[in-house]
Amino acid sequence: MPTLSMEDRAEIQQLWAEYGMAFGRADAAAIAALYVPDGDMVAVDGEMASGPEAIEAYYRRQLSGAYQAVSLADITLDAPRHISDGVALMNATWFVHGATPTPFRVRSTFVLRRETAGWRYAAARFAAGLQMSSA
């Protein structure tokens, strides 16, 4: 079974680091640049954005609004998995602080594609964990 090279794994991990740095700077354009031209995402609030322009517009709006005071903690990235030549899948989880009165967990799945410029997000799916109360 084919696997990703160590270089591919490192580049995919670096892509996540670039996302985190851009998010921390509230740089919507830099986040959108991490996606392939036909990439899309489903945000944690359920909004769908297709293409870098729509992804940039989403983050520009949210980073100056609902996500303005957000910080991420306890980030866990699963090892990226080979899907086919030039395609990989990676799951991740983290906690969001500052968006709601109590922190909540986000689980995500990323489909990545190797482009001329390197690995980029082809699809990102973010889902907030349901907070269950014990009754």
Antiparallel, parallel or unpaired: β 35-42 and 118-128: parallel
pLDDT digits (tens, 9 = 90+) for 49-97: 999 999 999 999 999 988 888 888 899 999 999 999 999 999 999 998 9
pLDDT digits (tens, 9 = 90+) for 63-73: 998 888 888 88
pLDDT at 18: 95
pLDDT digits (tens, 9 = 90+) for 103-120: 889 999 999 999 998 999
* DSSP run (H or E) holding 20: helix 6-24
pLDDT band, very low/low/confident/very high, at 131 (cuts 50, 70, 90): low
Residues 6+ away with beta carbon under 8 Å from 23: 31, 63, 72
Torsion of CA 80, 38, 72, 10, to 10 degrees: 30
- Tokens (6 digits) for 123: 């699809």
Residue that has been written with the tokens 């297709």 in this structure: 50
Cβ atoms within 10 Å of 29's Cβ, excluding its own: 12
pLDDT at 68: 87
Query: How far apart are alpha carbons 77 and 74 in whole angstroms?
Result: 10
pLDDT at 1: 61
Cβ–Cβ < 8 Å for 93, 106: yes
Alpha helices, H only, 25-92: 28-32, 52-63
pTM over 0.85: yes
Query: Which of 28, 31, 94, 37 is CA-nearest to residue 62?
Result: 28
Q: 55 or 129, which is more confident? A: 55
Domain 6-128 CATH class label: alpha beta
